[in-house]
Amino acid sequence: MKHFLSGFATCAVICALLFMCSSAIADSPIKLFIDGEIIQCDVPPQIINGRVMVPARFVAEPLGAKIEWDERSRTVIILSPNYKLPGEEIMSQQTNSLSQAKQELITLLNRYNAVCSAVRDINVNTASKSELTQQINAIAEVKIQFINWQCPKEYARLCNLHIENLDLLGHALVCVRSSQDDGTTSDLQTVKEYMRSFQMNISEIQAEINSLRQKGLY
C-alpha cells in the first residue's frame, strides 16, 4: 500500500510538472523569422483553432511586397514586387520602345551628320565627278535608312525633316555634277535654292529637337 501511494504521488508530481511545462510553452510568444531574421510584430502571432495566425503586413513587407487595406470592401490587397497593375505593362513596353527608338535616332543622326560634314568638305569647283557621285550615293544610303526606320510617332516629324534635307542635299550635288558634265553654270542657281531650303530645314530640325528634349525624348 505504501508503494502504491508513493508511486501515485510520484506520477501526480510528474503530471503536474508536464502540465505546467506545456502551459508555459503554450503561453510563450510565437517567434516569426523571415530569411533568417526575426520579425517584431506589434500584434504577435497567435494560434487560433490549431492554426498559426500572423499579421499579413509583417510577412509581406520584408519580402518586398506592398500591402494595402481597402476599408470599403474590407479587403487585404498584397502586391508582389513583380506584379504590375493593369496598364503598367503596356506603359513599360512603350517606355522601352521609346528608349530603343531614341538610341536608333542617335545612330541615324550620327550618320546624317557624317554625310553633311563630308559634303561640306567638298570643293564643288574642283571636285571630280567620281567624288560627287560617291557623296550622292552616301546621301541616298542614309536617306533610305531614315525611310526604312520604323520610328514611333513622337519622332516622325524629326525623321521626315532629315529625309527632306538629305533629299535637298542630294539634288544639290546632282546639279553640281550636271554642271560639270555640260560645262555650264546653268544649274548653280538651282543648287543655291536647294541649299537655302536645306538651311531653313536646319532651323526646324533644331526646334523639333528642343521640343523632344523638353519631353525627355532626346
Give this prediction's pTM.
0.56
Contact 145, 192 (CB under 8 A): no
pLDDT tens-digit series, residues 17-55: 444 444 444 557 777 777 777 877 777 777 888 787 777
pLDDT tens-digit series, residues 85-101: 544 444 445 556 778 88
**Residue 5: is it exposed, middle or buried by C-beta count within 10 angstroms (0-12/13-18/19+)?**
exposed
- Within 8 A by CB and 6+ apart from 202, the residues are 165
